Structure 1
Amino acid sequence: MQIAVTTPTGNVGRHVVAMLVRAGVRPRVLLREPGRLAPGLRREVDAVQVDQHDAEAVVAATNDVDAVFWVDPTPGGEDPLADHARATTAVVRAVAENRIGRVVFQSSVGAEKRQGAGEIDGLAQTEVALDGIGVDVTHLRCGYFFTNLELQLDALRAGCLQVILPLDQPMPWVAPRDIAEVAVTRLLSPDWSGRHVQAVHGPGDLTWREVAEILTEATGRRIGVERITDDAMRAQLGQAGLGDKAIEAIVGMSTGLREDFVPEQPRSVRTTTPTTLAAWAYERLRHRLGDVS
């Protein structure tokens, strides 16, 4: 089986590649900068330099592929939804023209809304487009990544996270490595076909208050959390240099899921994965936040 993996140096993709290699598979990895691969890994994969927004390049890079793990690349332009649309065009053309048998797509909790959830709407577009070509596809509806906290190291060092969700609203939190495990299991399993939605919810739903308590215990540094207004968050993002469309795409991921949203898949043994936030934070954050006096 020839398996292609996109974003192979990303939070999930790097684990997918390593797991496939350990399973005896030589994956074809698609990335903009092959030099970013770890030297030891380069001998175990076939690396193809490609921009996932370039449909022609993606079609060429996935020739003779049997299955693909597809992740829409992180938007880098002024309009994130337009970037997602370009990535969607690329994967749909590649799957259709190369007759790729199956796709495992990294989506998100909230994509089932189809619209009104900011950047998640772009993932919903990809889901709909893949469904439309009749490919065997599993959409991984992932919870909130633990690794998103690594984007807030300054706030963690200052001891206070700022969010726009209600502090007592629970939501699924998940380790990227656990997502990769689900993805690889799907890629290698012959026992499914058709369209599937597989939620990946982590070990438990957490409120932001609970997250702050867990981080405090795991890192040894007192960390609090406060809710700020939507406009205050917009102002912060604007000061960071983001444009209006990018700001609304980010803010919408919270505002679109904070009222009357119920995930399509309830938590179950199928959707629950093992890695806890406490274990992940102890390993990944404690040393990065510095010594605590």
Structure 2
Amino acid sequence: MTANNQTKTILVTGCSSGIGAYCARALKAEGWHVIASARTEDHIAELNSDGIKAYRLDYADSESIADFFEHAMAATGGRCDALFNNGGYGQVGAVEDLPVDALRAQFEANFFGYHDLTRKVIPVMRAQGHGRIVQCSSILGLVPMRFRGAYNASKHALEGLSVTMALELEGSGIHVSLIEPGAIVSRFRANALRHFHRTIDIESSVHRKDYQDQLRRLKKQEESNSGKLGPEAVYRVLHHALTANRPRYHYAVTREAKLGVIARRLLPARLFYPWLARQT
């Protein structure tokens, strides 16, 4: 895979596990020069052992974002054909139970960090005259879900900012796409539960019974992973976003995500929101 007789380069973030880890390795297998990020030395070592240059990046730490970008540009000779912003986490909890600091932390990891890295990449792509920016959003960035207010909000913000950026980059040769997965087999839910227990006072909440019921359902779902697609489903649409002559603005992934998009489009608000309220 070449562009101007050079191997195409891509920065892929959030590669400790799940979607990022799978996509980084799949892209390398297809001939891309992949620069990956992870948060721990163990995961960085695993990526390096597979022949993928990896560096530390924490979206909540602006210095680590700057360091990652500098390392990446040094490794690619200042070239960046594509950026796949992936990673972050999901803060669970009813809106009225969310500490403000938890909401701020959610936006640092899922929104401000993405924006910080993207702003560093765009001048490189402008100088080249081309580039692909792919944001890993979520169906919850389009269709909200109860008890996911912080995550919903961060992904709604990402959707709005990214679509605006796509409009502003029209004609520059830089394309922006959003991937909106539903539930994918990964450690995402396990990480979300860890943040939930750390930040939400379950016993004092008026939503305690709802929380307990959801925790039981989530435990069963995690044990079975029944009906979930794997990260390869995300890779299929990522590949299209990176290589198609006319990449899409939006890529919904999973049956549930696609149904949510259709319901949002077709149902009036007086039916749509009560329907959402029953989905847990």
Q: Do both share a fold (TM > 0.5)? A: yes
Distance in 1 of aligned mates of 2:145 and 2:189: 25
What residue in structure 2 maps to residue 65 of structure 1? 80
Distance in 2 of aligned mates of 1:61 and 1:14: 19
2:49 is the counterpart of 1:56 = no
Kindly state the Cα deviation for residue 51 of structure 1 after the two structures are TM-superposed: 2.4
Kindly state the Cα deviation for residue 73 of structure 1 after the two structures are TM-superposed: 1.8
What residue in structure 2 maps to residue 21 of structure 1? 28
Question: 1:87 and 1:204, CA in 2 relative to 1: closer, same or farther beyond 3 A?
Answer: closer
1:173–1:203: 8 Å Cα contact kept in structure 2?
Answer: no
Question: 1:131 and 1:94, CA in 2 relative to 1: closer, same or farther beyond 3 A?
Answer: farther
TM-score (normalizing by structure 1): 0.55
Alignment of 1:28-177 (within 5 A): 28-37=35-44, 39=46, 41-53=48-60, 54=62, 55-63=65-73, 64-74=79-89, 78-79=102-103, 80-83=105-108, 84-99=110-125, 101-113=131-143, 118=149, 119-133=151-165, 134=169, 135-147=174-186, 162-163=213-214, 174-177=228-231
2:136–2:179: 8 Å Cα contact kept in structure 1?
Answer: yes
Distance in 2 of aligned mates of 1:205 and 1:89: 26
1:51–1:57: 8 Å Cα contact kept in structure 2?
Answer: no
Question: 1:72 and 1:37, CA in 2 relative to 1: closer, same or farther beyond 3 A?
Answer: closer
Alignment of 1:3-14 (within 5 A): 3-14=10-21
Structure 1 residue runs without a partner (length 5+): 153-160, 167-171, 207-256, 263-293
2:181–2:253: 8 Å Cα contact kept in structure 1?
Answer: yes
1:72–1:123: 8 Å Cα contact kept in structure 2?
Answer: no
1:62–1:98: 8 Å Cα contact kept in structure 2?
Answer: no
Which of the pair is proportionally richer in helix? 2
Question: 1:61 and 1:125, CA in 2 relative to 1: closer, same or farther beyond 3 A?
Answer: farther
Structure 2 residue runs without a partner (length 5+): 1-7, 74-78, 92-100, 194-211, 218-225, 260-271
Distance in 2 of aligned mates of 1:58 and 1:128: 26
TM-score (normalizing by structure 2): 0.57
Question: 1:136 and 1:34, CA in 2 relative to 1: closer, same or farther beyond 3 A?
Answer: farther
Identity across the alignment (%): 15
Distance in 1 of aligned mates of 2:25 and 2:51: 9
Q: Which residue identity lines up with residue 122 of structure 1 in the other structure?
A: S
CA RMSD of aligned residues (A): 4.0
Aligned residues: 199
Distance in 1 of aligned mates of 2:114 and 2:145: 16
